[in-house]
Amino acid sequence: MTEHFKMDAPATEHRLDDMAQGLVGAPLDRPDGPSKVTGTATYANEWQIEGMVHGVMVRSPGNSGKVSLANRDAVAAMPGVLAVIQDDRLLRNPAQGTADAAPIQGARHADYTGQLIALVVAENFEQARHAAQSLTVVLENGETVTVDPDTAAVEPQEGQAVDQGDLGGAMRDAAHSVDVVYSTPSHSSSPMEPHASIATWDGDDLTLRGSYQMLKYNRNELADALGIHPDRVRIISPFVGGGFGSKLGLSPEAVAAAIAAQELGRPVSVALTRPQVYEATMRRSETRQRVRLSADGDGRLTGLGHDARVSNLPGETFAEPVLQASHFLYAGSNRQMSLDLVRLHRMCAGSVRAPGEAVGVTVLENAMDELAHEIGIDPVALRLRNIPETDPESGKDFSSSRFREALESGAEAFGWADRPGLKERREGEWLIGYGMASAARVNMLMESQARVTLLPDGTARVETDMTDIGTGTYAILGQIAGDMLGLPRDAVTVVLGDTGLPPSAGSGGSWGAASSGTSVYVACEAIRRQLAERLDVAEPDLMLKDGRATYANQTQALSDILNGDEIAKLGHVTPGDTSKAVRQATFGAYFAEVAVHAATGETRVRRMHGSFAAGRILNAKTARSQCLGGMTFGIGIALTEEMAFDPRDGHVTNHNLAEYHIPVNADVPQLTVELLEERDDWANPLQAKGIGELGICGAAAAITNAIFNATGVRVRDYPATLDKVI
Ligand code: MOS
């Protein structure tokens, strides 16, 4: 009953184009929306379980040394306190590290300030918090460690380097060139729902109610941390209040809750505080990026160089993939790129909101703006002139690209033709500028499974451990199954977020909808074949619509055909090696109008437009919402977002939503989004590519380029706060 599909050749059937229900692509509401906005959707920390007690985690006050809890016994004796737990299994983040990098992982040694090193459990939350705050953490035999990327040890990432042609020569001979250095600060994912877990043991079986993005991996991580078999672990995560990368891997509260619950024989609830989310989950690495561009007299790129430096803790393998889109976004035969990872003792760096392109495309697009200014041509024209025919490094074809159309159509929709000259437009005290930037993001397909059951009453159920992190999975999977089985959207129930269900790709890297959607599609195809077999007709001659099957001049309700039976199929998609044949990516373009106050340097984004192409759009409403969110993050990256680290010990000084400034409603004007029609046969049978993160990748550059247009000031050190603009 498992239908396996391997994506190793371009799709030839385009059946979603003419499904009778017409659900896929429609801007349908989320079925989970009402429960979320009325407070009836139960999030991880909201479960009330009989006998449940509460844990609060404790942070390290310093960045090096052996951890000891000086007044442990006194705290253990405080009212209501049940346990003070310091355990080597209390991993900081097993997803991002290596299991054998023992010192950096354990709770007995501190390696960054804010590292979570103990858990205090009490009968109620207030008692646990009071006791946790009373615990005196002492670090012994600490070393002086570096927290400064400028002095940290460098590890070149050889696998990321490109050296093609002669960039130095191209720069020397260029009619026009730029050689610029930009820096971007660390960003926090800042999900609205803090990380939280409730652990319950039943004998040797652990159930964790948590808030995670990729459950099959999280289950393995948790089992690995506890030293038990993954079969013993069930994670339930039906609603996730945002992740943005910080919930891709397990966070410390999950392991802590599981250890405490086992030790106490009671359910234990642990939620990170907002400061703990900022200090001890994941940061995007700060970056320093040098971009070199050389062009001929017509503005055709002859060379492109991109050298980046990022950081992480010792022993961590993740290096912000800054160069990811620089490999393919623009032509230019002389290419040189490098990525350096420096080792320092700030909190762990990991995936945050479009890792790589969010800051890499942004800086590349600033450099392109600098080049356009240098040459004296329109920034859109410069991009159009340098769209590569094929992947400029490998020579492979693009699986699909509407980059050109996004630039042209976006410029038209925005009214780019009215762009003022440099420092030309002023309205009272406000200087007005226009800016633009390209968008680009890699596209991926991941292994994923889903079970679809056509029930005796003619309705259907979709089941997978896929998550909906606010992105619209509940809506999209129902639309795909509805179209494939000829059912109205509300005749399909979608059940998500439970490792007891078939394992999916999870939500990450913009692959979630396409990967889990394909598994649903594959299962539905198998159901259609079985129905056809039952009716003794060829599957192509079977038309399913409104819960009825039409074939051989007759129409019958599905419930009659099923006659009390159900048909269940498991769809299983695995990626093939299509990446050997083609380059898969998504493209777009942003346009922004800003007003900069002539006296204060304050920047207000007045309007912003994005045109994007990401293959078939599965739900025009949820896709648009993803782009709105992405562009909003772009406003944050451009103007306000910055994690501040104390230079003395590397601790995060702005560890809350009041001081880490993400854009609020007043900062976000009316944004407009255009989704271009596109199909990608190489992506998957749905012909859909990922759109979740595309709207972030480069968005900030449209704003900072607009600031230059308004003021003549290039801010090369993000964010462009008023002190840098004035
Ligand atoms: Mo994303 S940063 O891969 O959740």
Residues 131-143 have pLDDT tens digits of 999 999 999 999 9
On the question of pLDDT at 531 being above 90, the answer is yes
Q: Best of 214, 441, 444, 693 to mutate for ligand 1, by most ligand atoms within 8 A of CB? A: 693
Residue that is written with structure tokens 């040098």 in the block: 290
CA 564 from centroid of its chain's CA atoms: 43
pLDDT in tens, 675-688: 999 999 999 999 99
Atom 4 of ligand 1: nearest residue by CA position: 245
| Residue 25 vs residues 22, 29, 477: alpha-carbon distances, Å | 8, 12, 12
Catalytic site residue from 316, 365, 405, 693: 693
Q: Which of 531, 536, 602 minimizes the C-alpha distance to 567?
A: 531
Q: Which atom of ligand 1 is nearest to the CA of 469?
A: 4
Q: Which atom of ligand 1 is nearest to the CA of 355?
A: 2
CA of 58 to the centre of ligand 1 (A): 27
Q: Which atom of ligand 1 is nearest to the CA of 248?
A: 4
Mean pLDDT of 200-225: 96
- Split at pLDDT 50, 70, 90, the class of 106 is low
Please state the pTM of the whole predicted model: 0.97
Helix or strand or coil: residue 56?
strand
CA of 350 to the centre of ligand 1 (A): 9
pLDDT, position 495: 98
CA of 245 to the centre of ligand 1 (A): 4
pLDDT, position 18: 84
Fold match between 2-41+445-577 and 283-444+581-725? yes
Strands 603-613 and 671-675: parallel
450, 523 Cβ separation under 8 angstroms: yes
The arrangement of secondary structure in 283-444+581-725, i.e. its CATH architecture, is 2-Layer Sandwich (3.30)
Mean pLDDT of 23-50: 96
On the question of pLDDT at 650 being above 60, the answer is yes
Mean pLDDT of 704-711: 98
Q: How far is Cα 10 from Cα 683, in angstroms, rounded to an integer?
A: 8
- Split at pLDDT 50, 70, 90, the class of 100 is very low
Q: Which of 97, 148, 109 minimizes the C-alpha distance to 342?
A: 148
Q: Which atom of ligand 1 is nearest to the CA of 213?
A: 4
On the question of pLDDT at 668 being above 50, the answer is yes
SS (H, E, C) 347-376: CCECCCCCCCHHHHHHHHHHHHHHHHHHHC
SS (H, E, C) 475-487: HHHHHHHHHHHCC
CA of 322 to the centre of ligand 1 (A): 14
On the question of pLDDT at 91 being above 80, the answer is no
Mean per-residue pLDDT of the chain: 96
Residue that is written with structure tokens 């991880």 in the block: 44
Mean pLDDT of 226-245: 97
CA of 385 to the centre of ligand 1 (A): 32
CA of 353 to the centre of ligand 1 (A): 5
Give the DSSP letter of residue 652: B
Q: Which atom of ligand 1 is nearest to the CA of 189?
A: 2
693 is catalytic: yes
Q: Best of 251, 351, 357, 466 to mutate for ligand 1, by most ligand atoms within 8 A of CB? A: 351
- Split at pLDDT 50, 70, 90, the class of 93 is very low
On the question of pLDDT at 20 being above 90, the answer is no
471, 240 Cβ separation under 8 angstroms: no
From the CB of residue 562, how many other CB atoms can be counted at a distance below 10 Å? 17
- Split at pLDDT 50, 70, 90, the class of 1 is confident
Q: Which atom of ligand 1 is nearest to the CA of 352?
A: 2
CA of 184 to the centre of ligand 1 (A): 18
pLDDT in tens, 481-497: 999 999 999 999 999 99
CA of 39 to the centre of ligand 1 (A): 26
State yes or no: ipTM above 0.95: yes
CA of 675 to the centre of ligand 1 (A): 22
pLDDT exceeding 70 applies to what percent of the chain? 98
On the question of pLDDT at 101 being above 80, the answer is no
pLDDT, position 108: 87
Residue 8 parent element (H or E): none
Which two three-digit tokens encode residue 500? Answer: 């007891």
CA of 12 to the centre of ligand 1 (A): 31
Structure-model confidence comparison of residues 371 and 88, the more confident one: 371
| Residue 430 vs residues 434, 594, 598: alpha-carbon distances, Å | 13, 9, 6
Q: Which atom of ligand 1 is nearest to the CA of 508?
A: 3
Q: How far is Cα 282 from Cα 537, in angstroms, rounded to an integer?
A: 55
Which two three-digit tokens encode residue 631? Answer: 């562009």
pLDDT, position 649: 96
Q: How far is Cα 339 from Cα 314, in angstroms, rounded to an integer?
A: 16
Mean pLDDT of 517-528: 98
347, 262 Cβ separation under 8 angstroms: no
Mean pLDDT of 371-397: 98
466, 503 Cβ separation under 8 angstroms: no
Which two three-digit tokens encode residue 189? Answer: 């994912």
On the question of pLDDT at 233 being above 70, the answer is yes
Three-point CA angle 510, 513, 518, nearest 5°:
125
Q: Which atom of ligand 1 is nearest to the CA of 247?
A: 4
Q: How far is Cα 439 from Cα 699, in angstroms, rounded to an integer?
A: 7
Residue 100, burial from CB neighbour count under 10 angstroms (0-12, 13-18, 19+): exposed
- Split at pLDDT 50, 70, 90, the class of 89 is confident
The arrangement of secondary structure in 2-41+445-577, i.e. its CATH architecture, is 2-Layer Sandwich (3.30)
Q: Which of 344, 58, 306, 337 minimizes the C-alpha distance to 186?
A: 344
CA of 471 to the centre of ligand 1 (A): 12
Mean pLDDT of 175-189: 98
pLDDT, position 90: 75
Can you name the residues that pair with 140 across neighbouring β-strands? 66
pLDDT in tens, 317-364: 999 999 999 999 999 999 999 999 999 999 999 999 999 999 999 999
- Split at pLDDT 50, 70, 90, the class of 542 is very high
pLDDT, position 653: 98
On the question of pLDDT at 294 being above 60, the answer is yes
CA of 204 to the centre of ligand 1 (A): 32
Which residues approach ligand 1 with their CB closer than 6 A?
A: 213, 243-245, 248, 351-353, 355, 508-509
Provide the residue ranges of all domains of the chain, joining segments of one domain with +. Answer: 2-41+445-577, 283-444+581-725
Q: Which of 256, 269, 312, 313 minimizes the C-alpha distance to 59?
A: 256
Q: How far is Cα 367 from Cα 373, in angstroms, rounded to an integer?
A: 10
Q: Which atom of ligand 1 is nearest to the CA of 354?
A: 2
